[in-house]
A and B are shown apart, each in its own frame.
Chain A
């Protein structure tokens, strides 16, 4: 069965510094990959997704992620964070062969220090 590992439960970073949030998944079969953001007291919003094609995916709010099949990773990056990026970030995997059910990582809380 698929599993998703987000290696860091919290990532503190200074404002305007770069950030990388790590995500690894377990299976080498073709999957869809997603990053969602959850702001305090809100639902989840899609940041970006990888379905196929270019391994570098650009999303909203200046975020991007790179799909690495050999390392089964899908790390999220932003070159310069803002205080408004403070949120919980979730990595998820969808296996088209399993009815597209999403398998979720535990989440990474991004803490922006002024």
Chain B
């Protein structure tokens, strides 16, 4: 199994600023995913990050607001841009290994925008 280190674990940010969340995997993963989880709710997929190509965004999420980088098979970042209080949420990164039969998760980033 893979271990994903996600940071920061939490942050309080001013509206209008940007925050970059990083995920480092201890082994190569074929696909990485970024999710948003509102308190007490399920996971909503933001985008799928593939190495060497642009991320694929789900409906309701755009690259200008949530730019993603995936420079190699063990690292990805998600930036939450021009934040507003509505962006307050938990952000989770996930990766799947060879065969894509299991997803591994980072510990999450709890973001509060004030």
* Interface residue ranges, A against B (CB under 8 Å): 32, 34, 36, 41-46, 49, 51, 90, 94, 96, 99-102, 104-107
- Say how far A77's CB is from chain B's closest CB, in angstroms: 21
- Say how far B102's CB is from chain A's closest CB, in angstroms: 6
How far apart are the CA atoms of A51 and B100 in the complex, in Å?
11
Binds A, one of B11-19, B60-68, B80-88, B106-114: B106-114
Judge if B45 is at the interface, Cβ distance under 8 Å.
yes
Tell me if B31 and A107 are in contact (CB < 8 A).
Answer: no
Judge if B96 is at the interface, Cβ distance under 8 Å.
yes
Count how many chain B residues have C-beta atoms less than 8 Å from C-beta atoms of the other chain. 22
Tell me if A101 and B45 are in contact (CB < 8 A).
Answer: yes
B contact face: mostly helix, strand, loop, or mixed = strand
- 8 new A-B contacts, CB < 8 A, other than A51-B101, A90-B42, A100-B100, are A42-B108, A43-B92, A44-B43, A44-B94, A46-B102, A49-B102, A102-B33, A105-B42
Which residue of B has the minimal Cβ distance to A42? B107
Tell me if B31 and A100 are in contact (CB < 8 A).
Answer: yes
Tell me if A32 and B110 are in contact (CB < 8 A).
Answer: no
How far apart are the CA atoms of A107 and B43 in the complex, in Å?
9
Contact indicator per residue, chain B 3-42, by CB within 8 Å of chain A (1) or not (0): 0101000000000000000000000000101000000011
**Residues of the B chain whose Cβ atoms lie less than 8 Å from the Cβ of A49:** 101-102
